[in-house]
Structure 1
Amino acid sequence: MRIVRDHQFVRPENRGASVAIGNFDGVHLGHAHCIDLARGHEAPLGVLTFEPHPREFFNPDAPPFRLMNAEARANRLEKMGVEILYELPFNRTLSALDAEDFIREVVVEGLGLKHLVVGADFCFGKGRKGTTDMLRAFGARYGFDVTVVDLLNSGGVAVSSTAIRDALRSGDPRQARDMLGHWHRIEGPVIHGEKRGRTLGYPTANMSLDGLHVPKLGVYAVLVELRSGPYAGQYHGVASLGVRPMFNGQEPNLETFIFDFSGDIYGMDMSVGLVEFLRGEEKFDSLEALITQMDRDSQMAREILAAL
């Protein structure tokens, strides 16, 4: 997959795609449907999105809300067969373009796009004043096709990043999976922690949640993927997502115990899929009580994951 981050200096082979447009936070079933409708049309398959997320640009001090970072989004889109990812910088200049200027300067003159697929709630241009009706009119004027897609529903709930965040916040990763089409995953490098887990018989791989929406704090059965290095592969495990109340932690992170595994994976890229919420965070009376509960958590997670 080729990634284009500038709409003004685009190689000829990266112009003329058929694209799905959106923020693609989480890359859920609605996004997948738009991408499917963008396939074909005698054009490369593309996605047009923005980095940072416009919501981050306009409200940088808001609590983290993203379901995945830019690298994880690119990995997911590549797996879906996207050939060109237009990941345009969302900055003051781009945000100041009105609806028609955005279409003319970015879509037509910059990228030369042939076909645009958008959701029914798509808005664009300064102040989000551009509508899907305007987009169709601009398509007729400037010579590109437009497909507007109705929002999908899952279990009576409109599929959206907001609904997925709500499911994760309530500790229901399976409902989130039904809207995503895949398990919600936390991805990134394995970082050094306090190495306390190895003294308890549960060495864990630590990951930062910086910049990401934080699901309900607690213990989860998880699917683990190591993406590179000598241990690359798929594993089962149990993970604690939280602030470690037993040890007076402050910032939430993810600590994953990978079953039947030993190896140095610091710095390696890891992906942890949340499968089932087992229990909330607790502060135990003793380390022995904590270890006993961790034994129970591990057994429960093994049983859940074996049944998948």
Structure 2
Amino acid sequence: MMKVCYSEMDTPAGLSCRLEAAGHAGYAPAGQDIVCAGASTVMQGLVYLLAGEENAHSEAFDEPDGPRLAVSVDAPCEEWVRGAFELAKACFVLLAERYPENVRFADVSRRGKESMMDLQLFASEGGDAASAPPALSEAQTRQAVASGTMKPDEAKVPAAPQASAEKTVELQPEKPRQELPVQRSELPPLSSFARSTQAAVHSLHARWAAEEAAMRRSQPDFDLQNELRSPEMRRLMQLPGMRVRDAYRLAHYDENLRTAAQAVEQGVVERIQQRAARPTENGIRPGGAATVRPDVASMTRAQREALERRVLHGAQIEL
């Protein structure tokens, strides 16, 4: 069953609104569930209506019990924003009334509780049968119980009107009843807007799956669901036309920058170490490349006399 909840929070800046839908409707197999399609269309329409609001946020999670979608607007909320939420609430009320076994809607805001209390009091007023107001419907009773304005033991099914005592009915022997298969009421086909919305969602999911597979070629450990847990990654993926690879690079820009700086620093250290261990080559020694020995024939007289004095003092000279 799909559970939809609308709530409001009082803040110093005003009221903040939030609408959340979680779970599967279970009306039909996957890909044929018109109830899920209707709920998805309502949530997507609300997201598109609030696309230009800076304080509007939308979130999507894939949980074990099914997907969970949430649309919230921080305070202060303008009147038309509240009108958009009222439209979405009215759509979910209609879904809950028509498919009570598949959709449950609860308005836990203060205004929702007050309206459900007014309906409860209106239905419980006294009077004769002709002027008595209608009682709460089954869907309205469930909504009142879910929002807390009515206790479960107070929810009573209206009794069927008793037959008039003046009329006599001739009893007939009961015939064995033949159990017929339960058939669901046929619904009109989806509108072109709903079909186009479903096609756009399927196309977006297919593109994300293809881009995730391309990312895993270079990064085998890449997981899009784990990346979407990051608020920055979710914010980037909500931008129109954003690709998975570009969003991943922007979300991990600082980390990639640090990794590149460490790689460059390590490369410099390795090159310095390699140069220190490299053998000395010709032309880079501190001395001359060729050794020239002294020639006695080219010496001057003073140089030869200096050599003689060194020999007289016992020095050994090699030429």
Q: Please give the TM-score of this superposition, normalised by the length of structure 1.
A: 0.27
Answer 1 or 2: higher relative contact order, Cα 8 Å, separation at least 6: 1
Q: Please give the TM-score of this superposition, normalised by the length of structure 2.
A: 0.26
Q: Which structure shows the bigger proportion of residues in helix conformation?
A: 2
Q: Which structure shows the bigger proportion of residues in strand conformation?
A: 1
